[in-house]
Amino acid sequence: MLIEAQKLIGLPVYTKSGTHLGKVDDLEIDIDDQTVVNYRVETRDILKLKNLFAGKLLIHREQIVSITSQKVVVDDAVREEEIKLAMTDLSGEMPAPTINSVDNN
């Protein structure tokens, strides 16, 4: 099944257990393989208020459970890594490699 990029942008992103993470903001494409590698997700307002992750997450394609015309569902581990990143970001340690923060600058 195919979906146009402009229909994918703006879709809400949820974990498998139902936690709303944000919405698809952009895609990163490997031009050699012509495949989507990462999905940029604009995080929920509460994360922005805490100034964590600069309001963006990168979710690797292997963390995607499903994509429909209504939403994107990701592994619950994405939420767990989001929390770990928040904790390590506040402590000044390096963030976990499975999900990356994106600088808005």
Query: Residue 7 is encoded by which pair of tokens?
Result: 């229909």
Give pLDDT tens digits for 30-75.
999 999 999 999 886 544 445 554 567 889 999 999 999 999 999 9
Instruction: Compute CA distances 44 → 2, 61, 75, 101, 104, whole Å.
Output: 27, 20, 17, 14, 15
Alpha carbon 23 to chain centroid, angstroms: 8
Report yes or no on 2 lying in a domain. no
Q: Please report, for the domain that includes residue 71, its CATH number.
A: 2.30.30.240
Domain extent for 93: 7-101
Mean of pLDDT over the chain: 76
Q: Helix (H, G, I), strand (E, B), or coil: what is residue 95?
A: coil
State how many domains the chain has.
1
Whether 8 has a pLDDT exceeding 80, the answer reads yes
